[in-house]
Chains A and B, each alone.
Chain A
Amino acid sequence: MSSTFDTIANIIAETCDIPRDSITPESHAINDLGIDSLDFLDIAFAIDKAFGIKLPLEQWTQEVNDGKATTDQYFVLKNLAARIDELVAAKGA
């Protein structure tokens, strides 16, 4: 069974035509991989379906805009994977 990170990386590689081996847990989806907001909607859709969750993109965006969070917390892929694991765990609780 692949890890959460692997699933995300595969989705990004397929959705954005980015070489899979250039995507690492330390990659920042926006700053390093150059993913824009429209492409990220496609990624969010694929993640939502793959994990059966609803990524709270609006909440995250608001937190970043309000200075309560940094983009690193949500868009560095290892952190994104951790957020997804939390959402999956919360769904099953």
Chain B
Amino acid sequence: MRLEYFQLIDRVTDLNLADRTIRTENTVPSASTVFEGHFPGYPLMPGVLLAETMAQTSGWLVVALNKYDRMPFLAALKDAKFRTFVVPGMVLVVEAKLEHDGSGYAVTNAKITSSGKPICDATITLRVMPFPNDEIRQHMREQARRLGVPSVEPANG
């Protein structure tokens, strides 16, 4: 996880388009400027970054389901619960399931666990829109390769 760059997903370990589920694994870095302020001498992964990690995992599921033809943007977070402190070095397993595929939006249920213990969970609403430009679309495809997203045929090549 590169917290400063909001690159919070290390690798996609499972993607099931039929079940509309995804699983990612991500290691909290041992050092980050984020921890210098949050908090001095007591580093904790901020809850907003845990929420973002669930949103990004959900987003990759939506990107794959739309065959790289649409881009999700975080719109709402509901019933978010942060159950345990997350410290440097922890491995976070994020699972998300598409709850609803609406017109121009998607709703997922997502959760994070670590060593089988619940960390946090939320219901996430994403706006799903055409890619703003080809540069972002290409960037997302490159990121997908980096993360090991199982091959999904992109729309329009």
Point out residues on A near B: beta carbons under 8 Å.
38, 41-42, 44-45, 48-49, 54-59, 61
Closest Cβ–Cβ distance, residue B123 to chain A (whole Å): 10
Count residues of B near A (Cβ-Cβ below 8 Å): 11
Q: What 6 new A-B contacts, CB under 8 Å, besides A45-B105, A48-B100, A58-B103? A: A41-B76, A45-B125, A48-B102, A54-B102, A55-B103, A57-B104
Closest Cβ–Cβ distance, residue B126 to chain A (whole Å): 10
A38 touches B102 (CB 8 A): no
B103 touches A49 (CB 8 A): no
Cβ-closest chain A residue relative to B78: A42
Given contacts A45-B102, A49-B100, A57-B102, contact A38 B75 (CB under 8 A): yes
What CA separation (Å) do A42 and B125 show in the bound complex?
9
What CA separation (Å) do A61 and B19 show in the bound complex?
30
Cβ-closest chain B residue relative to A61: B104
What CA separation (Å) do A55 and B76 show in the bound complex?
19
Interface of A is mostly: helix
Closest Cβ–Cβ distance, residue A40 to chain B (whole Å): 10
Bitwise, B88-112 to A at CB < 8 A (1) or not (0) is: 0000000000001111110100000
What CA separation (Å) do A59 and B75 show in the bound complex?
20
Point out residues on B near A: beta carbons under 8 Å.
75-76, 100-105, 107, 125, 127
Cβ-closest chain B residue relative to A47: B102
A45 touches B100 (CB 8 A): yes
B100 touches A41 (CB 8 A): no
B102 touches A55 (CB 8 A): yes
Closest Cβ–Cβ distance, residue A53 to chain B (whole Å): 10
B104 touches A58 (CB 8 A): yes
What CA separation (Å) do A71 and B39 show in the bound complex?
49
Question: For residue A49, which residues in chain B have a CB less than 8 angstroms away from its CB?
Answer: 100
What CA separation (Å) do A61 and B102 show in the bound complex?
14
Cβ-closest chain A residue relative to B125: A41
Question: For residue B76, which residues in chain A have a CB less than 8 angstroms away from its CB?
Answer: 38, 41-42
B100 touches A57 (CB 8 A): no
Question: For residue A44, which residues in chain B have a CB less than 8 angstroms away from its CB?
Answer: 102-103, 105
